[in-house]
Structure formats: C-alpha cells, structure tokens
Structure 1
C-alpha cells in the first residue's frame, strides 16, 4: 500500500458534540465524521441529528456497532441479530444511512467465544455485510483496539471489511503495529482503506509529550510543533491514510489539519519500529 493523501477524520469519542466544531471542521475541509452507538452515553446519534442534522449530509459519516446498554453499563455482543438491529437503529436515529459502519472491538467478545470464536467473527461480519447489501449502510468495516486476536480467526470464505481502523501513533506497541499490517494484508486492503485512531494515546497533555520530540520523524523539523509532528507521524505507525482525532476546540483541529504538510522520514520510522520489536522480544525473552 503506497498510501493516499493523508486525511483527518473528526472523531466524537470524547467530544461534547457541539455544532460549532462541526461547522469549523467543514470550513477546514474536514468532511469525514466518525462516531459510535455507545458514544456520549449511547446518545451520540440522537444528539447529532438534533443539533446538526442539516450538516450531516455534508459529511462522510461512519459509526460503530457492538456495544449495547446493559444492566451494569455497556456490554459487548457479536450476536448477528443485535448487530443488524443496531445498524437499523443508527440509520433511524441519525436520520440517514451511515456511509460506513464498523464492527466495534470484536476482540472484546471473541475471548469469551472460544472455541467458536472464528465462527462468531464470521457471523458478525456476515451480518454487517448483509446490512450493507440491504442499503442500511454504504459499506462496513472493523475497528479494533487490539487487533492481534483477530489474526488467527480470519475465515477466507467469510466477507471481509472495506475498512480497518486500528490504533496509530508513537505510543502503539510493536505487537499491535505488526498485527495491523498483517490484517491489512490478509483482508487485501489498499489505499484509503486503513484508518488510525487515538494518535496521542488519549491526551496531548500527557507527560510523555513533554519528554520526547516527535519532530525527529520529520524531514523538516522546524515547521511543526511537537503535537503536530506526533500527529503527522501517526500516519506511518502503522501505515494509514486517515486518522480519527477528537479535539473539542476548532483551533486545535486546525493545527492538526496544518500538520498534514509535514513530510515524514520513512527511514526513521522503520528504525523506530525495529527498536520497538527488539524491545518487545526482550520483554518476552
């Protein structure tokens, strides 16, 4: 995969779902919006439709299914019937069919599904594939926080996703990076079909970003800030074409969009990945 032009996806994981952020995103040329059925206390879809329903047609909209309200909080399920119903409900609550629906963290339930975990994954994928075929969404994908358990469960006879979303960035370990690469190859995904998420590991204010200077990964380190450089490097750790990020302030989103002009030094990225693998092997030894 040689890579398409890098793209920013406005993610709503920690967002307050304010209209001003969506209008600012459109002004910045950010036209991809990502949410999930369980975001904002399982109210993300309804709030979006109520506060920015007129703006949603201007976005390529993705959401996720897999988490459901339970008696003790959120619960996860790969039951095909529940997944299909969730896709139908998403379209109803949003007031439009999503462009993309992700199977959300399937590894969460697969650990408990063994020895029938491969069958469980195949049935869940088939359910989303059928939902797309019926027109409930334009396409479907897999969003995985820990993709490693999926590698041995891929059924070549089962439908495969159009998009894979995985963690990306300097705080992602070698095991996750290698698993993302392997899944990309196994599902034969090409340009524009692999997305990254959580490029800062949850917070740009974490102490780690004051201790390291990600600008070493750029060819011209003087052009961008440390946060911008970390964001730009995330497109190569692993190789992704889009990164979902969730700033609540338009100015911060603008800084990240401006970071796309940075050129990443691929040799430094590969050296860094080699160091991560060596460290991982040392911990396992």
Structure 2
C-alpha cells in the first residue's frame, strides 16, 4: 500500500496556502511544530483545520523561539539556562507547551512528537520525562497520542524498542505512544536499506503498530539538483529528478506518510501522481543504494 501525502510546515513561506494545496491533493495530515515559522505556524493553521475537521494534525514539543522562552520563564516552567538553550523536554515544560499547542491549533492534536530528543545530555531520560507528561495529556483527552520526531536519534541514541519500553514504564500496557518520524531520502538512505532487510526503525515501528512519517524526502529541496541522469533513469525514466527522488521514499517499506514542505500547487500535483504509482521493486531500490554507495 502506498503512503499518504502529508504537509510539513517546516520552512513553508506561506503556510495557509500550502495547506490549501495539500488538502486539494488529498493530504491526510499536517505536521507542524512550536518553533516553525518563527513560532506562528500553529495559529496560521487554525482556519484550514477548522474548515477540514477530518484532517489530522501533529505538532511537537522540545524546541522553542525566544518569545516562547520568555513566556515559559514567566510561567516558571523553565530555568534561565533551559530558556537560553532553546530546547527543553522536562515534564513541567512539556505539559505547559502541550496546552499552548492545542490553544494555538484550535483543536486537540492527534499526535505530539518529542522533537529531537537526541539533543539532550541523556536522551532516554529526557524521553521518559516527556512521555510521562504526555501520558497525562493523552489520558485526559487533551492529545490523541505522542511519538518521537528525530533526525539522528536512531543512529545510536535510542531504538524503537527503547521508545516502547519507556512508554510502557510511563503509561503501562495501554500507553499512548503512537508514531515515529525520521528522515528518509536519497541522502538519508540507511532507513531504506534497513527496511529492505526487515530491520531498523521503520520495520520495528511497523511491527509495533506505530504510525511512521518520512521527513525531508527531498532533503530541504536540495535533492533534485543532486540526482544525476543515470540515477533518474534507473529510478524512473519518465520522472523529473524531484519525482524520482520522491518515488524512492514512497517505495520504502514501512513508510505510512511522506511529509512534503511545498507551497506550490504543481509540486503537490506531481507528488500526488508519484504516490499513485506502484512501489519500485526491491531490486531497483537495492540498485539505487549500490549506485549511491559507490
């Protein structure tokens, strides 16, 4: 089954317009964060979310803007050192920010991701503190569930098994750990290679019934310029470099949602066409890995 399209508001210049294009092309999910678009992304999504009640939304806790740091200090939920760091996953801060997220979105978030916990000095302890706070929020019905959004965390800081163990300790057998988010692209190939072998975070998350989100499929828009003619021909001779790169991510076993951060209608239409195609054969994906590893 092909993954769904989802909007990432990271680096979106016009979030409301991007959301309109995403919805028009069948996006089922919008992903945002407290610190995106100078801290204004969540409030900018309110009209689209109100107009599309079936659209699901995920947000994050961890990073914050200077304005949020000031408000958190005034509320007594971060120390001066924590405020200066720009990233915090303590129980008190996560609980406070979770409430702000819902107010800014104008609705209950379906998932709240713990954002890049690998930045913490002791990542697993930081995850436990955040999960404990988010379990309280989930049991009170103030969030649908929680997860971890990471860039390099699965490179040694923690595993999906670790996350499941922490969630079980924080929330018992009926914990609300629901999702993981990680980069999957022609630049970040390891999750693809692992998934083809039935190992790694995507395979482990799928086996545990967790929702999976592939972030940065075009590596911040840099990938199309990096795709050679040889590589594009190998992937799909009829595709543009961007479409070829996106098709590899869409063909990665275990990916449920692909996060696309574009405000242009033509990009969403092209992505919609790519995701309607059948997944690339495993043989082709292995050849892509071999070419890029040479």
TM-based fold match above 0.5? yes
Task: Please state how far the C-alpha of 1:247 moved relative to its aligned partner.
Answer: 0.8
Q: Is the 8 A contact 1:228 1:255 kept in 2?
A: yes
Q: Does 1:59 align with 2:52?
A: no
The reply on whether 1:252 has 2:243 as its aligned counterpart is: no
Q: Which of 107, 113, 120 is residue 96 of structure 1 equivalent to?
A: 107
1:25 aligns with 2:22: yes
2:3 to 6, 9, 17: 6
Partner of 1:203: 221
Is this contact kept in 2: 1:204–1:227, CA < 8 A? no
Bigger mean CA deviation after superposition, 98-107 or 66-75: 66-75
Compare the two structures and name the one with the higher helix fraction: 2
CA RMSD of aligned residues (A): 3.0
| Counterpart residue number, 2:75 | none
Q: Which residue of 2 aligns with 1:138?
A: 144
Q: Is the 8 A contact 2:15 2:41 kept in 1?
A: no
Give the Å deviation of 1:150. 1.4
The 1:90–1:174 alpha-carbon spacing in structure 2 relative to 1, beyond 3 Å, is same
Check whether the contact 1:17–1:48 (CA below 8 A) recurs between aligned residues: no
Where does 1:122-137 land on structure 2 (aligned, <5 Å)?
122-137=128-143
Residue 6 of structure 2 contacts residue 22 of structure 2 at CA under 8 Å; is this kept in 1? no
TM-score (norm 2): 0.78
**Closer, same or farther: CA 43–212 of 1 in aligned 2, 3 Å:** farther
* Residue segments in structure 2 that go unaligned for 5+ positions in a row: 70-82, 169-176
Give the aligned length.
Answer: 266
Distance 1:56 1:88, change over 3 A: farther
Confirm or deny: 8 A CA contact 2:183 2:214 kept in the other structure. Answer: yes
Q: What TM-score, normalized by structure 1, do the two folds share?
A: 0.80
Provide the rounded CA distance (Å) in 2 between the counterparts of 1:155 and 1:255: 35
Deviations 1:148-195 (A, max 9, x none): 111399265421631111001111143896499433455564567111
Unaligned runs of 5+ in 1: 280-285
